[in-house]
Amino acid sequence: MPEGGELSNGVKRMEGYRLNPLLSREEIASIVKGLSDQISKDYGERELVLVCILKGAFMFLSDLIRQLQISVQVDFVRLVSYGAGMRTSGKIKITKDIEIPIEGKDILIVEDIIDSGRTLQFLKDRFSLLKPRSVKVCALLDKRARREVEVEADYLGKEIDDVFIVGYGIDFNETYRNLPEIYYVTPIDHQKE
């Protein structure tokens, strides 16, 4: 892919980094459809609350719920763990909590990527205190090789290598969220080129 210039929908490339295609719109759509079908089948008539982790999972959630064949409620949490860089700080803070009471309900946490697993472990522990009927996880992507705590997605789109990704809601320093495809970011080493 050429350096500089514009991406699919006018998004400017960040200087010094290359964006390499990882998943096309069609590939994402087919993954999301597969997950929705499974979720619809498993939950059926049960009272399901989808809890989307902001900001990264907003696009995934919006595509996922439009494919679901069951009625659901939707809520959001916002957690802060990543700084401005590419690695987690390990510290997690909740800056926006859920508003729907979840006692006795089935909860499905919707996450963009599982990395160390700390975000999900934090949320699962926190929600369990509120006595839901069940707490499960639906994640679009999983960097399993980077796991630091034991947590798995009950519904997983795709396992990926240890690369930094952007697009489809997922950012690098708050940029690239509106790309409809998913890319992995690599620094451009001018000496090697």
Contact between residue 113 and residue 144 where contact means Cβ atoms under 8 Å apart: no
Residues 99-138 that bind ligand IMP (CB under 6 A): 111-119
Residue selected from 40, 42, 47, 81 as contacting ligand IMP according to rule CB under 6 A: 81
**106, 112, 115, 142: which is the annotated catalytic residue?**
115
Residue selected from 31, 56, 141, 168 as contacting Mg ion according to rule CB under 5 A: 56
What whole-number distance in Å separates Cα of residue 161 and Cα of residue 153?
16
Q: Which does 40 bind (CB under 5 to 8 A by kind): ligand IMP, Mg ion, none?
A: none
Residues 155-184 that bind ligand IMP (CB under 6 A): 164-165, 170
Q: Which is nearer to ligand IMP, 70 or 74 (CB)?
A: 74
State the Cα angle at 32 between 80 and 40, rounded to 5°: 100
Binding region for ligand IMP (CB under 6 A) out of 11-19, 21-29, 80-88, 94-102: 80-88
63 binds ligand IMP (CB under 6 A): no
Characterize the bridge pairing of strands 106-114 and 72-82.
Answer: unpaired
First to last CA, the chain: 13
Minimum Å distance from CB 82 to Mg ion? 8
40 binds ligand IMP (CB under 6 A): no
What whole-number distance in Å separates Cα of residue 158 and Cα of residue 113?
10
Q: What is the DSSP letter of 192?
A: G
Give the DSSP H or E segment for 26: helix 25-43
Q: Which is nearer to ligand IMP, 102 or 151 (CB)?
A: 151
Phi, psi of 177 (to 5 degrees): -60, -30
Residues serving a catalytic function are 115
